[in-house]
Amino acid sequence: MVVTTSALFFAGLFTSAYACGDAVAHSRRASMPSSITLPTRPLEWGDINIIHTTDSHGWLLGHQKASSPEPNYSGDFGDFASFVAHMKEMAEKRNADLLLVDSGDLHDGTGLIDGFPPGGIDAHDANEFFTQLPYDVLAIGNHELYKYVNALDMHQNFAPKFPGRYLTSNVNITVADKQGNPVNIPLGSRYAKFKTRKGRKVTALGVLFDFTGFDKNTTVQKVADMVKEQWFAEAIEDEPDFFLLAGHMPVAQDKWPLVFNAIRQVHPSTPILILGGHSHIRDCIQLDGRSMSLESGRYMETIAAKLDHGNNSSDNITFTRRYLDPNRVTYEYHTGRKGSSFDTRKGKSITSGLKALAKAFNLDFLFGTAPRDFTLNRVPYPSESSLLSLFIEDAVPTALAINNTRSSIPNLIITNSGSQRFDIYAGPFTKNDQLTTSPFADAFFYIPEITLSLAKQVLLNLNHAGATSRRSSETLEAREAHLYGLGYVDKRYREWLESMDKRNGAERREAANQTLGYVTQDVRFSL
């Protein structure tokens, strides 16, 4: 299972040589609870600017723990709404365009999404707060498709709140028509064509990666097949001022080049902006000198941004972008407003509504107290502060012994880390923490009366021990591809964390007086 951060993408284009940003790596510094570090410089505005969120997964009340780096992401969705409103005002004063875009995965992640009472629908209540923001384009994520009832809710109740702008270019749903006959139709809209406030023409698509874990009565068309459709050719036939490709698909190691190349065959120099998601990382690449591809993290830990272009269509474009940590210090700095002058009426209403929903879902119910931080990726497994050690050594044996007539019989438990999705931090452990850390109703299967000598071979065979290195590599690659198709992104996220640590590990952080945070590195490549 997967989840992701939201990112504010503030992107800008200028005529010049092309780049995802400047050559300096951008680090996100975490702060201790008593002090959140101020941003170091203002945002760079262009003629066209974009605020991008993705993989929010229900983190609408912000990160509420005191342990570092959580305070850096402590802004709630009401704070974000106020930020967007002020940024819109600033755009008008600058006579510039500002778009708001989301790349999917609103489901599965916190108690606001998964804590609904019996009879409710996952994310239905929390998504109402999303509809109160002026999103110009939204794309569907894979987590909207694991259960048909959730997909149907998005089709019937969410998409209509954004008429023509909730984009599901390669995603269909089967519903009953007026005569009661099943029909297979787009869950949202295939594409959107609109003009910005300043009159710029935009053609937008919303593409999902080749997801295979969708529920019955929903379908995801392969990206390679989508670009061959007649509707796609008609959608891209007329040249806009720029193409906006917002989709739940990583900007690297995936199928965006298929969409990009199909457009380039028709429009060789039209600016193309790709806003991706799904792998929960901060990423930025360029496929050519007049395009930019950006991904903006997960869990409302990131908000990203900006775009402006020159008059000469043959010039390369310099795009700038900035990742922002969603907190009030960041928001107030970039809007020039503080305290009560920052909060808008709608922002305060959203914050109050989110708190009321948390109360209605009883998310403050206290299970106990965590004596220390237990993390997924910051410490080795096994270790005292490893969440995986806590999970397999303490939580699982205890849970399986409760009301179990076979609890006295020796057993061997085999599991993986996929069910654990976020850290546990020192302090109160509530219903919300439980749903955030382990939101899925996973089932344990057991086989009785197996000898220990035989049981010990299971894990080895699951990991393909004893095969030739070539066979093991091929088998592992096929397994990873299968899991990726089902929606698992843990491997890519961990690899990204490891690459950041190699570039900017503990010793370098200490030497630079930096605390825990993300450090990005831009990539430039040609097809």
> 441 pLDDT band (50/70/90 cuts)?
confident
pLDDT band for 164, please (50, 70, 90 cuts). very high
pLDDT, mean of residues 266-288: 95
pLDDT (tens digit per residue) in 114-142: 999 999 999 999 999 999 999 999 999 99
| Contact between 123 and 113 (Cβ < 8 Å) | yes
Spell out the CATH class of 364-442. alpha beta
Per-residue pLDDT, 350: 98
Residue with tokens 């209403």: 349
Residue 444: per-residue pLDDT: 82
* Mean per-residue pLDDT, 144-162: 98
pLDDT at residue 92 is higher than 70: yes
DSSP codes of every residue in 223-291 = HHHHTTSHHHHHHHHS--SEEEEE-BS-SSSSSHHHHHHHHHHH-SSS-EEEEE-SS-SEEEEESSTTE
More confident position, 452 or 246? 246
Share above pLDDT 90 across residues of the chain, in percent, rounded to a whole number: 65
User: Per-residue confidence at 181, pLDDT binned at 50, 70, 90?
Assistant: very high
Among candidate residues 7, 67, 59, the one with its CA nearest the CA of residue 33: 67
pLDDT digits (tens, 9 = 90+) for 343-366: 999 999 999 999 999 999 999 999
Q: 163 falls in which pLDDT band (50, 70, 90)?
A: very high
Q: In terms of CATH, what superfamily is 10-359?
A: Metallo-dependent phosphatases (3.60.21.10)
Confidence band for 513, pLDDT divided at 50, 70 and 90: low
pLDDT of residue 399: 86
Calpha distance 360→488 (Å, rounded): 31
Q: How far apart are CA 188 and CA 367, in angstroms?
A: 40
Q: Where in the chain is the domain with CATH 3.90.780.10?
A: 364-442
Q: Are 261 and 280 in contact (CB under 8 A)?
A: no
Least confident of 53-57, 190-194, 304-308: 304-308
Helix (H, G, I), strand (E, B) or coil at 181: coil
For 281-295, how does the pLDDT look when each residue is reduced to its tens digit (9 = 90+)?
A: 999 999 999 999 999
pTM: 0.90
- State the chain's mean pLDDT as an integer: 87
- Quick one: pLDDT band at residue 277, thresholds 50, 70, 90? very high
For residues 195-223, average pLDDT:
98
Mean pLDDT across the stretch 409-436? 92
pLDDT tens for 300-333 read 999 887 665 444 566 788 788 899 999 999 999 9
Which of 59-68, 376-385, 422-431, 446-455 has the weakest average pLDDT? 446-455
The 10s digit of each residue's pLDDT in 71-81 is 999 999 999 99
Give yes or no for a contact between 2 and 418, defined as CB atoms under 8 angstroms apart: no
Quote the CA–CA distance of 171 and 224 in Å, as a whole number: 13
Cβ neighbours for 348, distance < 8 A, ≥ 6 positions apart: 78, 82
The residues of the chain that CATH labels 3.60.21.10 are 10-359
- Tell me the three-class secondary structure of 374-394, residue by residue: EECCCCCCCCCCEHHHHHHHH
